[in-house]
Amino acid sequence: MMLRFQHLHELDAVAHRILSEGRQQSVWLFEGEMGAGKTTLIKALCRALGVVSMVQSPTFSIVNEYTTHEGHSVYHFDCYRLRNEAEALDIGIEEYFDSGSYCFVEWPERIRALWPATYYRVLINADARGERTVETEMAGAYPPDYVRGE
């Protein structure tokens, strides 16, 4: 799927649209240049999921855990500062990925060898005019009748 938007007021609709498409996957990989809007989109996704915790970039903590109003966990990773994949293993990234909870991962290219077999990829690009393009793809999707448990 490819979506275009220019204004922040459009972001909630974009979030709902990609949640609808990607809800079968728990691990979401967000790629894009610095400042493209990865964290901003993740904030909109968390709003749509009913997160009650404050959502902010885990730049220095590497991972933040948020809680939805139903008590479900959502994990938000920022792998930008990781020096190598061993550091991701040290924080237990594979256990997070196996948890079944949503795991939103910024800068996933830094841990490419640790990507799970199935994931939802979100590529964000911004042009000079401020228009953003969000492209999504499923990788190793579950069978069509599978509905991710909440």
Tally DSSP H helices, then E strands, for the chain: 4, 7
Prediction pTM value: 0.89
pLDDT digits (tens, 9 = 90+) for 102-145: 999 999 999 999 999 999 999 999 888 889 999 999 987 554 45
Give the closest residue to 80 by CA, choosing from 36, 139, 18: 36
What is the 3-class SS of 24-70, one letter each residue?
A: CCCEEEEECCCCCCHHHHHHHHHHHHCECCCCCCCCCCCEEEEEECC
pLDDT digits (tens, 9 = 90+) for 70-114: 999 999 999 999 999 999 999 999 999 999 999 999 999 999 999
Please enumerate in sequence order all residues whose Cβ is within 8 A of that of 113, keeping only pairs 6 or more positions apart, or say none.
85
Residue 137 lies in a domain: no
As for how many domains the chain has, the answer is 1
Residue 29 lies in a domain: yes
Residue 150 lies in a domain: no
Residue 148 lies in a domain: no
